[in-house]
Chain A
Amino acid sequence: MTARSTFPPGLELEARKAAPMRQPLRVAPAPPWVVLALDQGSGDAALPLLTPGARVRIGTPVGRAAGEAAVDVHSPVAGVVRSVESRPLPGPTGAGPCIVIENDGSEELETGFAPIDWATLAPQDLLARIRSAGIAGLGGAAFPAHAKLAAARERSATHLVLNGAECEPWICCDDALMRERAADVLLGAQVLLHACGAAKCTIAVEDDKPEAIAAIAVALAAAADPRIEVATLRAIYPAGAERQLLAAVTGLEVPYDALPPAIGLMCQNVGTAAAAARLVRTGQPITTRIVTVTGSGVRQPANLEARLGTPIGDLVAACGGYESEPLRLIAGGSMTGRALATDAVPLTQAVNCVVVATAADLAARGREMPCIRCGDCATVCPPGLLPQSLLRAIAAGDDDQVARHGLADCIECGCCDYVCPSRIPLTARFRAARETRRARLDERQRAAEARDRFARHEERLAATAEADRQAFEAARSRARGEREG
């Protein structure tokens, strides 16, 4: 067996990022209502802390993380909690528990926030601050930043890679961030280095963003930190996927059954670094993110810094509104994004881009034809899977073969879909198979718990009945004794 090249095969795609970059990054107006998802996109929801009627200010905690993949949630506006209910969400479940807050427009800030003297803070305490600030990975997966950093610290990772590749078409929020707030990215890099204990940091940017690279270089010269360097990557999709990026930057391949800290690496998005920088500058939790609003269906495509929980429709309105009836709303880019059912879906930490697509943006896909075993999907697959075999195993419902062909290793990049001459929606099938598998595992766990609880319930009822019987016997014999005596 020969070693695979560490550079991903991938695809060269048309970027379509020019339109939003013609406008400066600006702050979106605060919406009259925010719909704050308790699951910010990682698949694990926080527990709500407030009930309807409660008053909140900007930065008031409203949800506390319980599971390992959830993050704390804070109010991005001042106002009143109106309801805690299930609402449509951009994630794979399509809906989930949300806290709906009415904005009273006072912009009152929660008290007690002060800048953090992070350089003298112990790394553990810094990690705790990052956790209580609710910062999730802003690259799209929304996994809690503190959990990743803590894992890197535990395994004494030496190399932190900041992901500014942004390889997917349409998305340019990181490009805008690096151009306009490069100093934040640098400060964030220093903060994350301190938190995870790595010795060196590489900021990786694709070579189709010369302005961002120049801005980072200027900020780097100003910061004069010898631990930080900038690496330029060839613009090829999906160079920004975590494992592919690490392979391209360091030449090391993360084992399929391990996470990057296992080989001493750590990857964070540049947006996450900037969020950490904002945290140490102000002490405030994360309540906003930068999002690209683009597509030919919106009047003025732009990058906006928007409050979390802003409905997508309000973001489009902040960009001049709909140009024409959109054919499809997509959260994320054109390759990995998910179609949205409604523009009432709120912004979460996982949403880096909204594409308002019209017929001009969406190529007709054509009818799905049978697989002709050409193998094109296998030649482009970045993790080196055999998508055609995986698809066959899924169609056959053969769980062992599905696992052997690496469903867990699919990064859902969409390259196989893109090249398939038979127009088979492979990635959608893989996503669906993952969801069914997860649903089945959940069902099984719920059943196991119900079985235990039923057994304990029966035991308890039997014990109570036995105790009642004995009490009755005792009372009867006592009564007999009294009658006789």
Chain B
Amino acid sequence: MSATTVLPAIGVAMGLAIVLGAALGWAATRLRPDADRLVESIDALLPQTQCGQCRYPGCRPYAEAIARGDADIDQCPPGGEDTVHALAALLGRDPKPPDPAFGATKPRLVAVIDEARCIGCALCLPACPVDAIVGAQRFMHTVIEQQCTGCELCLPPCPVDCIELRPPLVSGRLRTRRAAQARP
């Protein structure tokens, strides 16, 4: 085998390596998945309970922490196994059971204020992350059931312990049967 047949082949191979390497290098920096978009798609899979059991102050901050690599995907008790699976599929990781250190998965409950015991102190109003409590100082408060996420954050500030969690009264159908069956 003579150098005249090998050299062009080496040249072509090197040329290809340089061109492809440059293209990949450019793509790695310029076409990197948008961090914001990654946070968005993680946030979209979280249950939006805003309970803080993951030790971040809300679902969005937890999504940001996952995107940065600071938090694991098994820290969301309200989301349970389904959320871990969805996150694992999105991020290309292995699914695992939710970490019990962060709390147990429970069915959706809603906060109900015992109106006979409520003293109208308004301490629970700023604690509610989704503003689902209606009330004012020295007026009775009440929880809008449809908007309550069951995060339990209103329980600690209440000085008279008049809030408790119960299964929702309305089964939570937000739309009609026909609309739900219509194609997307």
CB within 8 Å of B: which residues of A? 42-45, 67-69, 85-86, 93, 95-97, 143, 257, 403, 408, 434, 437-438, 441-443, 445-451, 453-458, 460-461
- Of chain B, the residue at the smallest CB distance from A259 is B178
Is B30 part of the contact surface with A, judged by Cβ < 8 Å? no
| Interface SS majority for chain A | helix
Contact A448 B48 (CB under 8 A): yes
Contact B130 A450 (CB under 8 A): yes
Q: Verify B183–A408 contact, CB threshold 8 A.
A: yes
Stretch of B7-15, B64-72, B111-119, B167-175 lying at the A interface? B167-175
Contact B147 A69 (CB under 8 A): no
B172 — which chain A residues lie within 8 A by C-beta?
442, 446
- B169 lies within 8 A of A69 (CB): no
Residues of B within 8 A of A143 (CB): 178
B118 to chain A minimum Cβ distance, whole angstroms, is: 18
Which B residues are CB-close (under 8 A) to A96? 170-171
What CA separation (Å) do A381 and B175 show in the bound complex? Answer: 28
Contact of A44 among B47, B50, B176 (CB under 8 A): B176
- Return chain A residues, CB-CB under 8 Å to B50: 450, 454
Chain B contact residues, CB within 8 Å of chain A:
43, 46-50, 58-60, 126, 128-132, 146-147, 149, 169-184
Question: Residues of B contacting A441 with CB < 8 Å?
Answer: 175, 180
A42 adjacent to B174 (CB under 8 Å) = no
Besides the known contacts A68-B176, A408-B182, A450-B49, 12 further A-B residue pairs in the complex with CB atoms under 8 A apart: A44-B173, A44-B177, A67-B176, A69-B177, A96-B170, A441-B175, A445-B175, A450-B48, A450-B130, A455-B60, A457-B128, A460-B131
Among candidates A43, A86, A448, A453, residue contacting B173 with C-beta atoms closer than 8 Å: A43
Complex interface: chain B residues within 8 A of A44 (CB) = 173, 176-177
Check A451 against B59 for contact (C-beta < 8 Å).
Answer: yes
Q: Which 6 A-B pairs have the closest CB atoms?
A: A69-B176, A43-B177, A447-B48, A450-B48, A453-B130, A438-B180
Contacts A45-B170, A97-B170, A451-B43 given; does A456 touch B131 at CB 8 Å: yes
- A residues near B171, Cβ cutoff 8 Å: 93, 95-96
A451-B59, A461-B126 known; A97 and B176 CB under 8 Å? no
Residue contacts A-B, CB under 8 angstroms, 26 given: A42-B176, A44-B176, A68-B176, A68-B179, A69-B176, A69-B177, A86-B169, A93-B173, A97-B169, A97-B170, A434-B181, A438-B173, A438-B177, A438-B180, A446-B146, A446-B172, A446-B174, A447-B47, A449-B147, A450-B49, A450-B50, A451-B48, A453-B129, A455-B60, A457-B131, A458-B58
B183–A257 CB distance below 8 A: yes
B116 to chain A, nearest CB (A): 15
Q: Which residue of B lies closest to A453 (CB)?
A: B130
Q: Which residue of A lies closest to B43 (CB)?
A: A451
**In whole Å, how far is B95's beta carbon from the nearest beta carbon of chain A?**
14
Query: In the complex, what residue of chain A is closest to B177 when comparing beta carbons?
Result: A43
